[in-house]
With several copies, the nearest count.
Chain A
Amino acid sequence: MKRTRLVFSGSGGQGVITAGIILAEAAVIYENMNATQTQTYGAAARGGATKTDVIISDSKIYFPEVVQPNILVCLTQDSYNNFASIIRPGGILLTDLRFVKTIKKIDAKQIELPMYENVIKQINKKVVFNICMLGALIGITRLLKPSSIIKVLKKRISKDFIDINKKALDMGIKMGREFKK
């Protein structure tokens, strides 16, 4: 049984929930896996802290929440402070250089990437920050094929925006792979 447990956390406008959904949907529809996605919901969605749990597995998933993620993404300092400690020992903790100062000593591979900065510099549309993050994640973990993500994006997003999303994804993948090396 292969099972990956992910938590993406950040703040309202950063699109972490969308990122979680895209990832899980890609896994289910294009890679024939099972996946669940849940989120903290509600007033929090208006600018406060947000968090989404994603489980990807080749077998059935019952309990859909992630208690100890293998992969944790924190896009704000707050979320880092809140969640860094729940990571599974040896897991991967991805943060954005701009928003998070990693301070804690954690038994995990801490990866800090300048995703936001690069997005702003190269695309100048912060809406695709989350897609860049997804790219980085895939670059690091090879969890899914990039093409699966792109197929999902094509279904969800109007044509005019596909290109910048692809660009953000590629950028992320590159950063992730490079880090891996």
Chain B
Amino acid sequence: MSVKDYIRERFFPHIWCPGCGHGIVLNSFLRAVEQLKINKNKIVITSGIGCSARISGYVDFHSLHTIHGRALAFATGLKLSKPKLKIIVPMGDGDALAIGGNHFIHAARRNIDVTAIIMNNRIYGMTGGQYSPLSGLNIKASTAPFLTIENDFNIVELAKAAGASFVARTTTYHVLEAVTLLKKAIKHKGFSVIEILSQCPTYFGRKNKKGDACSMLELYKKNTGKIGSKKLNNNPDLIKRGIFVNNNKPEYCEEYEKIIQKAATAAAIRQI
């Protein structure tokens, strides 16, 4: 199958702005799924609200476009009720970590087998460029005319501390890496988080004089370094890319099966 077989062509061209990184994430994601050859009927993509969240409407899987910040809670219901489904949750940085922060850490804690793709453009794109918990310091935004004073989350550290069993980071510049990491995240059994730095030229770029989409991609190239690479070793302050966590902790739905076993035994004993 080709990439086009995984999209709903009639909704293209999509609504994203020219040069929006979210389109590149979609592109990488489609290739990952294509290469993994997962049956389309086995995939549910569920998202919240945001530019990023619109991705769910464009792909030809079961798609659940929910409310802002709650996609992982919906995902938990989907997955636990029908564990054989692959659940993919694309999220904006605001969706995932502003209003949705609690569901994020709890999904990680439970280590439920869901893949969260965080399309981090460091801004609320959909509502017009307000700062987000990922903006970081000294950023201009429509609600930060005097530049931000709030620290940003380190998504990798937060996901790790909360208990996610797979955590990775890449960018929309590093598309081959993105495809590889997405494949690993999707295949991983347990809660997997992949943060993809994704440019919003319209708001983040324009307000912060980062130039157009191309310049923003150049910055991703320049300011990041792959774990283990020479570049990173020479410049440890660069944003790290690669896999940060990858372990085999017990997965929630599999553990739940044990509850069912125990309960059946208990019920049986009671019957005697």
Near B by CB (< 8 A), chain A positions 38-95 give 43, 46-48
- Complex: how many Å from CA A79 to CA B202? 23
Q: Mark A88-122, 1 if CB is under 8 A from B, else 0.
A: 00000000000000000000000000000000000
- Complex: how many Å from CA A4 to CA B17? 34
A-side interface mostly: loop
Q: Once A and B bind, how many residue pairs between them come within 8 Å at the CB atom?
A: 8
Near A by CB (< 8 A), chain B positions 1-27 give 15-18
Task: Give the interface residue-count category, chain A.
Answer: under 10
B42 to chain A, nearest CB (A): 31
- Complex: how many Å from CA A47 to CA B16? 9
Near B by CB (< 8 A), chain A positions 7-57 give 43, 46-48
- Complex: how many Å from CA A43 to CA B51? 9
With a CB–CB cut-off of 8 A, which chain A residues contact B15?
43, 46, 48
- Complex: how many Å from CA A47 to CA B17? 7
- Complex: how many Å from CA A17 to CA B218? 33
B178 to chain A, nearest CB (A): 24
- Nearest residue in A to B125 (C-beta to C-beta)? A46
With a CB–CB cut-off of 8 A, which chain B residues contact A46?
15-17, 202
- Complex: how many Å from CA A43 to CA B18? 13
With a CB–CB cut-off of 8 A, which chain B residues contact A48?
15
A44 to chain B, nearest CB (A): 9
Q: Mark B18-38, 1 if CB is under 8 A from A, else 0.
A: 100000000000000000000
- Complex: how many Å from CA A46 to CA B202? 9
With a CB–CB cut-off of 8 A, which chain B residues contact A43?
15
With a CB–CB cut-off of 8 A, which chain B residues contact A47?
17-18
- Nearest residue in B to A45 (C-beta to C-beta)? B128
Q: Which of A43, A46, A47, A48 has the most CB of B within 10 A?
A: A46
B121 to chain A, nearest CB (A): 14
A114 to chain B, nearest CB (A): 26
- Complex: how many Å from CA A46 to CA B19? 12
With a CB–CB cut-off of 8 A, which chain A residues contact B17?
46-47
- Nearest residue in A to B15 (C-beta to C-beta)? A43
A160 to chain B, nearest CB (A): 15
- Complex: how many Å from CA A48 to CA B18? 11
- Complex: how many Å from CA A150 to CA B16? 34
Nearest 4 A/B pairs, CB to CB: A46-B17, A43-B15, A46-B15, A47-B17
Q: Can you list 8 contacts pairing A with B, beta carbon distance less than 8 Å?
A: A43-B15, A46-B15, A46-B16, A46-B17, A46-B202, A47-B17, A47-B18, A48-B15
Q: A46-B15, A48-B15 are in contact. List 6 more A-B contacts (CB 8 A).
A: A43-B15, A46-B16, A46-B17, A46-B202, A47-B17, A47-B18
